[in-house]
């Protein structure tokens, strides 16, 4: 990627932002790190990939204590050591750590592995046995202590969100991170409208179906390939542009190599027309009834 292209992508991402409930603006294309940091021989390439993403304006980096049991967080520490102020840093807590002293300890350990004294966003990775009310209380306490700036959830379906929003401070939830891509649109029937009603954005993990069986079906689909040829881009860039089309979804594809990150960044330059979106709807129809939340 040359400097001109990098400048164009950065300018485009500055325009394509998602507004969090506290009015913070986050760029709509970030970086996921699932399964990164787990193989030492890939360490330098993965650090380069994260840094190239930051150079191109992909400020949000998402991780979790579960990813490599902290290995992903340690990789990110090495990548952002001298650039923390450039990063919107997100991590996630295990459900069995999501309450009381265990939550405090898990957060502190994530901060230590990441080499920082605060997280921009801390998510409950999925529902567990600890009562949601206890988790919310603990997350609010971490916010008051300055260890996290805001908190959210991940893999929450409609009933989970309704339960959360009915709790004291449940409306402080900043995002819901769920699996969402062109081949998995179940959230559009009920969950996405509920989140929009409350001004809570979606953070879309696996927007390229990285962890699913649909990847080849998506990238090789004739409609996707035709649109990619029309725009002179790769099929993956069509999928990312589709995910970001409404302005309230943050896509966080994982890319462990710099050239893949650069390819992802080019999606910011792409704006699909109404006719093209209709063609994709016909190829991959929106749901007509409630579907179970898709999870990888």
Residues annotated as catalytic are 67
Phi, psi of 120 (to 5 degrees): -75, -30
Phi, psi of 61 (to 5 degrees): -120, 125
* 250-280 exposure pattern, b = at least 16 Cβ within 10 A, e = fewer: bbbbbbbebebbbbbbbbbbbebeeebeebb
E strands present in 171-289: 176-179, 202-205, 249-252
What six digits make up the tokens of 26?
Answer: 């986050």
Residues 123 and 110 sit within 8 Å (Cβ to Cβ): no
CA distances from 281 to 224, 229, 275 (A): 11, 18, 10
HSE toward the beta carbon, residue 250, CA cutoff 13 A: 26
Q: How far apart are the C-alpha atoms of 4 and 94, rounded to whole Å?
A: 41
CA distances from 133 to 152, 165, 173 (A): 13, 10, 12
Q: How far apart are the C-alpha atoms of 113 and 282, rounded to whole Å?
A: 45
Q: How far apart are the C-alpha atoms of 21 and 248, rounded to whole Å?
A: 11
């Amino acid at each position: 990627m040359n400097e001109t292209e990098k400048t164009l992508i950065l300018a485009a991402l500055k325009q394509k932002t998602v507004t969090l409930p506290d009015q913070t603006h986050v760029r709509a294309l970030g970086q996921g790190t699932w399964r990164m940091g787990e193989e030492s021989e890939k360490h330098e390439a993965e650090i380069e990939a994260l840094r190239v993403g930051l150079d191109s304006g992909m400020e949000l980096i998402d991780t979790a204590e579960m990813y490599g049991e902290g290995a992903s967080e340690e990789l990110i520490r090495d990548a952002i050591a001298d650039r923390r102020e450039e990063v919107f840093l997100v991590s996630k807590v295990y459900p069995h750590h999501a309450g009381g002293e265990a939550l405090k300890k898990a957060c502190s350990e994530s901060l230590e592995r990441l080499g920082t004294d605060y997280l921009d966003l801390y998510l409950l990775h999925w529902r567990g046995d600890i009562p949601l009310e206890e988790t919310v209380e603990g997350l609010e306490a971490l916010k008051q202590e300055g260890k996290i700036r805001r908190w959210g959830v991940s893999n929450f379906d409609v009933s989970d969100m309704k339960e959360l929003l009915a709790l004291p401070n449940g409306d402080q939830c900043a995002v819901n991170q769920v699996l969402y891509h062109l081949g998995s649109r179940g959230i559009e029937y009920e969950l996405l409208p509920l989140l929009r009603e409350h001004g809570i954005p979606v953070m879309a993990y696996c927007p390229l179906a990285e962890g699913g069986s649909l990847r080849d079906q998506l990238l090789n689909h004739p409609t996707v390939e035709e649109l990619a040829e029309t725009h002179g881009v790769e099929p993956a860039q069509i999928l990312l542009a589709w995910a970001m089309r409404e302005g309230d979804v943050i896509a966080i594809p994982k890319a462990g190599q710099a050239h893949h990150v650069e390819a992802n960044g080019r999606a910011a330059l792409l704006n699909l027309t109404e006719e093209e979106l209709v063609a994709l709807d016909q190829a991959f129809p929106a749901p007509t009834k409630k579907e179970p939340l898709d999870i990888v």
